[in-house]
Amino acid sequence: MTTNQPLIGMPMQQPYNGRPEMLVGAAYCRAIEAAGGVPLPIPLSDAPWVMDRCYGMIDGLFLCGGGDIAAHFYGAVDSGALTAIDEPRDRLELALTRRALQDGLPIYGICRGVQTLNVAAGGTLYQDIPTDFPEALDHRASTGQPLGHVAHAARVEPGSLLEDMLGVGDSSVQVNSFHHQAVRDVAPGFRVNAWSPDGVVEGIEPRDGDVHVLGVQWHPERMVPQREDMVRLFTRFVDACRAR
């Protein structure tokens, strides 16, 4: 490992078809590599020495998108709307995220990743937007469309880390959308940094901003390299990992 090429830990997931495999999305890896980082897939394991060894190697934690987090991890009962639950992944990601938050390790979460970040820090989730927000936008509007298909705008909080990274002068950004869950109660010590027009949370970050910790609900990796603002979300994260 060199100081110029930080190792970025990326917890893996099990495929939705139930095959005995572990996967990590190629688009996430390519985006991290393009930003100058080395993606390091972390296998799903309940063995503490596996997590300890992997965690000790990484300079930052990247939380990918994917299926739903089991409701009991945020003190709720499964409503029946949850899909593609992967509890070994839940356990590993929540443990790694809590450890990274405690140690001041940079974190970047995308889609499911912002939800994992929120739950790990003590927040909760809406289990299904169509059920909880019947008049909400279609937050799966980009599904089946070109990867960078814009679903809606997101209002970005002035003065936030996200605004600084995006460089949005009008505090608005065009985003894609592939989710049916969202942040409900924001975790203590965190604040919302972006909202969709219907009020659904599109991103969170710590209030103090001392460490590079960011979660966004859309999929920037699917908008790279056509969008320079989305590229910056990866380069700034990798730069923060390198600075450690």
29 is catalytic: no
3-state secondary structure of 191: strand
What kind and span of H or E run contains 40?
A: strand 38-42
Bridge pairing between strands 60-63 and 125-126: unpaired
* Chain CA centroid to CA 10, Å: 11
Look up residue 59 and give its two tokens. 């300079």
167 phi-psi bin (left φ>0, alpha ψ -120 to 50, beta other): left
Please identify which of the residues 152, 202, 221, 241 carries the catalytic annotation.
Answer: 221
Cα–Cα distance list, 66 to 25, 76, 199 (Å)? 9, 20, 22
Q: How many CA atoms lie within 13 A of 236 on its CB side?
A: 18
Q: Is 221 a catalytic residue?
A: yes
Active site residue 241: no
CA distance 201 to 199: 6
The Cα–Cα gap between 70 and 156 comes to 29
Length of the chain: 244
User: Of 42, 151, 137, 138, whose CA–CA distance to 99 is shortest?
Assistant: 42
Active-site residue identified among 139, 179, 212, 219: 219
Catalytic residue of the set 111, 139, 152, 212:
111
CB-CB contact of 223 with 209 (8 Å): no
Catalytic residues: 111, 219, 221
